[in-house]
């Protein structure tokens, strides 16, 4: 399994090759999906060509930022979509740039559910969810602004298949744009997570109550996407332990294990799990083995994410707790992150204040590479 790195005598687990289905990865460092809010009018922009290509290595895996599946999927300014022809066409040169450097590029498809307000919705209507329970106002990532949420409209039972179909069409559109696959966003308090978590889901139909019923929507989405583009091109991101956007669960271990086992039936390529230590933005606990039952249960590639650095990423791979490790903030600020890991070089510090600005350069494509530093 292990191969020698450039440095003689040293094996860096994160930089060993890995076969993910039909994709031969040259290393195990993954670009996590990162919302950057620079897609004006929900259309990907040319400046994303440089952003993603900067972070591309030959046969490295990148997961694109969360991308809306429909005009009801939005909850943040300037996030990209993939439900219109214009959006699909705008993605094509971005995907081409990643492929030109030998990268493997997956599109994360997304619906925010109740994490929205009527200003983001067509005709000013309420956002949709599994529930009509409102979300309390939240302090935004900048620590200053407050996000207000419109009370959601509970989806009727016979409306749910249409939302499943929107995920299917988004996956088809991602293939049309040239992506290598899709990651279904089932984490962090957004629509799929809202259905799964008993803190949110208060339904009494076949999509609520028991664990099986609460996971039904997620698994129907997976099935629809698999039937459209093939299981070998599908991943899912889950965060059973997280309580983002008031989406906690009374038994996250049971939820995570049930999903890991159920996903095996569809034979999807990978499961991308978020560590319980990342429960809130500023909270981190050390619980390195919490995902092990899910890791052991899931038959495909297992990706972990959540505050990893070089040392504990290497340890997770070396101890076989993960096949791949996704990095967010570190990759955002260090476009050459795998090279820096190889050399154990210093890392650029990320600037949280520029994570979500609309600027096409600042905090986006201006983080320096090793060779441009003094």
In terms of Cβ atoms closer than 10 Å to its own Cβ (0-12, 13-18, 19+), residue 360 is middle
User: What would the pLDDT profile of 242-267 be if each residue is shown by its tens digit?
Assistant: 999 999 999 999 999 999 999 999 99
User: What would the pLDDT profile of 190-200 be if each residue is shown by its tens digit?
Assistant: 999 999 999 99
Name the pTM for this structure. 0.94
State both tokens at 78.
């300037």
Catalytic: 190? Answer: yes
What's residue 9's pLDDT?
44
Residue with tokens 């309580």: 243
The ranges of the chain with pLDDT < 70 are 1-9, 142, 278-289, 372-374
Distances (CA, A) of 227 to 60, 110, 159, 233: 26, 18, 20, 11
Q: Which of 40, 52, 76, 190 is the catalytic position? A: 190
What's residue 367's pLDDT?
98
Q: How far apart are CA 204 and CA 195, in angstroms?
A: 12
What's residue 84's pLDDT?
98
């Amino acid at each position: 399994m292990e191969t020698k790195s450039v440095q003689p005598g040293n094996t860096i687990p994160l930089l060993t090759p890995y076969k993910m289905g039909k994709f031969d990865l040259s290393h195990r460092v993954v670009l996590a999906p990162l919302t950057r809010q620079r897609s004006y009018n929900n259309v990907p922009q040319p400046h994303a060509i440089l952003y993603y290509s900067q972070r591309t290595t030959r046969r490295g895996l990148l997961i694109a930022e969360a991308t809306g599946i429909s005009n009801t999927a939005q909850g943040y300014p300037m996030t990209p979509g993939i439900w219109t022809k214009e959006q699909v066409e705008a993605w094509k040169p971005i995907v081409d740039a990643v492929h030109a450097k030998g990268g493997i590029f997956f599109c994360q498809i997304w619906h925010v559910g109740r994490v929205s307000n009527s200003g983001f919705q067509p005709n000013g209507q309420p956002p949709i969810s599994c529930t009509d329970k409102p979300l309390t106002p939240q302090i935004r990532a900048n620590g200053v602004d407050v996000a207000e949420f419109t009370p959601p409209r509970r989806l009727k039972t016979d409306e749910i298949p249409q939302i499943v179909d929107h995920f299917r069409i988004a996956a088809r559109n991602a293939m049309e744009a040239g992506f290598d696959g899709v990651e279904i966003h089932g984490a962090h308090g957004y629509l799929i997570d809202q259905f799964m978590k008993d803190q949110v889901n208060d339904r009494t139909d076949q999509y609520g109550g028991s664990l099986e019923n609460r996971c039904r929507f997620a698994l129907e989405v997976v099935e629809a996407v698999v039937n459209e583009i093939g299981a070998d091109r599908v991943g899912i991101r889950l965060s059973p332990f997280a309580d983002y956007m008031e989406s906690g669960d009374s038994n996250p271990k049971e939820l995570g294990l049930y999903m890991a086992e159920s996903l095996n039936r569809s034979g999807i390529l990978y499961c991308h799990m978020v560590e319980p230590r990342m429960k809130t933005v500023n909270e981190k606990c050390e619980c390195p083995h919490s995902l092990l039952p899910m890791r052991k249960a899931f038959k495909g590639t297992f990706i972990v994410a959540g505050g990893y650095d070089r040392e504990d990423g290497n340890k997770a791979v070396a101890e076989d707790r993960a096949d791949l490790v996704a990095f967010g903030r570190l990759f955002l600020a260090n476009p050459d992150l795998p090279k820096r890991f190889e050399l154990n070089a210093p890392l650029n510090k990320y600037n949280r204040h520029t994570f979500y600005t609309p600027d096409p350069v600042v905090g986006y494509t201006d983080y320096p590479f090793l060779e441009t530093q003094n």
